Amino acid sequence: MTAPPDAETRALARGGGVSLLGSATSAVMGFVLTVVLARLLGDSGSGVVLQAIAVFTIVLSFARAGLDSGAVWMFPRLVSADPSRLRGTLLWMLAVTAAAGGVCALGVELAAGFLDPTVADAVRAAGWFLPAGALLLVALAATRGLGGVVPYSVVGSIALPAARPLFVWIAVALGASLAMVTLAWALPLPLALVAAIAVLRVQVLRHEQGVRGPWRVDKPVRRELLGYAWPRTISAGLEQSIIWLDVLIVGVIAGTAAAGVYGGASRFVAAGLIIDSALRIVVSTRFSALLHEGRVAEVQSLYRTAATWLVLFGAPIYLILGVFASVVLGLLGPGFEEGSTALAILCGGAILTFAAGNIHSVLLMSGRSGWGAFNKAVVLALNIVGNLLLVPVLGIAGAALVWSASMLVDALLAAIEVRVFLGIRAGWGATAYALLVPLASVGLPALAARLVLGETLLGLLVGTALGVILFLTWCALDRRRLNIHALVAFAQRKQN
């Protein structure tokens, strides 16, 4: 008889289901946006918009001042220890974020002149939405910290990503310039911010339980947050630079068309991070609360379970994308198939990185944001040097190799630090077995379908169908070893 899963695993299954829906919707809408840009603007036009989005995203990581991670780290502790501090802490965080966003928007306006003129116009059009974007990310993170996975997913992972392709399509249909198309991409941010603030107001009032807290933040809390947030600001900026800088470097070295092709390929990889995003949304707050209470053994157990599920359910997506890379990229339009090698490399790197699980969340929620920033600095240096050396020689395939190597180094550094600082060991045996399952049940059928039917849409559909059947069968037969019994137990409990 299967033993009942522990409370933390049940919570992971419950919250993971909600955030999985949001992450899946976000991934689908991200794919739709990529298709809309590619189909309507071509490789060159989409390359301009994607470069502008890259600049916006990198700067946005600085504009939020590390307070989005700070909210996920701090609010579970305040809820547990002293809910009366929530109001003042939240207002202070939003005020600091608004100021940082305004400074970053001004900086973008002044610095855009160093870019290609067409890209610069697009960057300037979206740049003044940086304060709204930064406030939205911090507000949504605060809803997570206060126990709101549902509003976080609905506003940030469903409504906002769904609005963007629609707004962009309307802008293109009206004959807008590339700058105005980029502005249309940013336009839903203030609308989502209003919804997030409304949710936060309800959450704070609920936790205060009729006893209104002070409007000013306590100095000890402020000092803790500043000490945590400033290295996290650097870390987040470096992290987004690692993700997006290669698009800009490709654009500078190989041109906007190459940037459009590589950007399309890399967005497929980003869309594949459904499982990673869903699990991270849930486990981060639990890591923070458990580490604050000194329950390291429970953190290790939760981390290993999440890592197993991440590899098990995340790898199949990348196996299909990698095997049928040219077919998938062909959906974007003529010329995008040139990025098939790059996409296959990116998928392989993502699968290997999954083996480390949500190791970065463990490190950050332990309060060691400074080490996270150090890791990102090392990885960004590797990323820049690698791209400058390989892109002129190998083109976008070189950029893909550098990104994959960077992600592996980042995960390895975090794993070593978590082992040294917290004594938490990765469950490599369980993770390796979890990886074997999709490799055998999804990867091999996909390769067989490609050999028999070729790199065609029919081959993609047949390979995917066979993989899904075999994968689900294996998971059902081996659910205990894969810890899937936790998901089954939760579903049965919901029905009773």
pLDDT tens digits along 86-145: 778 888 889 999 999 999 999 998 888 777 888 899 999 999 999 999 999 989 888 887
Dihedral sign, CA of 478, 480, 482, 488?
Answer: positive
- Percent of the chain scoring above 90 in pLDDT: 21
Structural domain includes residue 378 = yes
Structural domain includes residue 1 = no
Residue position matching structure tokens 């206060």? 146
Q: What is the pTM of this model?
A: 0.68
Query: What domain range includes position 142?
Result: 7-491
For 263-286, the pLDDT digits (tens) are 777 777 776 666 776 677 667 777
Who's near 71: CB < 8 A, 6+ residues apart?
Answer: 90, 93, 138, 141, 142, 144, 145
Structural domain includes residue 148 = yes
Q: Is the pLDDT of residue 17 over 60?
A: no
Element (H, E) at 94: helix 86-111
Who's near 246: CB < 8 A, 6+ residues apart?
Answer: 262, 266, 383, 387, 391, 399, 402, 403
Structural domains of the chain, count: 1
Nearest to 53 by CA among 253, 189, 229: 189
* CA 130 – CA 122 distance, rounded (Å): 14
Who's near 209: CB < 8 A, 6+ residues apart?
Answer: 83
Structural domain includes residue 460 = yes
79-99 per-residue burial string, b: 16 or more CB within 10 A, e: under 16: beeebbbbbbbbebbbebbbe
Instruction: Tell me which of 29-33, 54-58, 270-274 is least confident.
Output: 270-274
Judge contact between 396 and 258, C-beta under 8 A: yes
pLDDT grade, residue 433 (50/70/90)? confident
pLDDT of residue 4: 40
pLDDT of residue 247: 75
pLDDT of residue 158: 86
Structural domain includes residue 496 = no
pLDDT of residue 37: 86
Structural domain includes residue 285 = yes
Phi, psi for residue 421 in degrees, rounded to 5: -80, -40
Q: Residue 84 gets which letter from DSSP?
A: G
Structural domain includes residue 2 = no
Nearest to 349 by CA among 428, 408, 289: 408
Structural domain includes residue 48 = yes
pLDDT of residue 439: 93
Average pLDDT, the chain: 81
Judge contact between 214 and 222, C-beta under 8 A: no
For 346-378, the pLDDT digits (tens) are 898 888 888 877 777 787 777 777 787 788 888
Secondary structure (DSSP) of 138-157: HHHHHHHHTT-HHHIIIIII
Instruction: Give the mean pLDDT of 478-484.
Output: 76
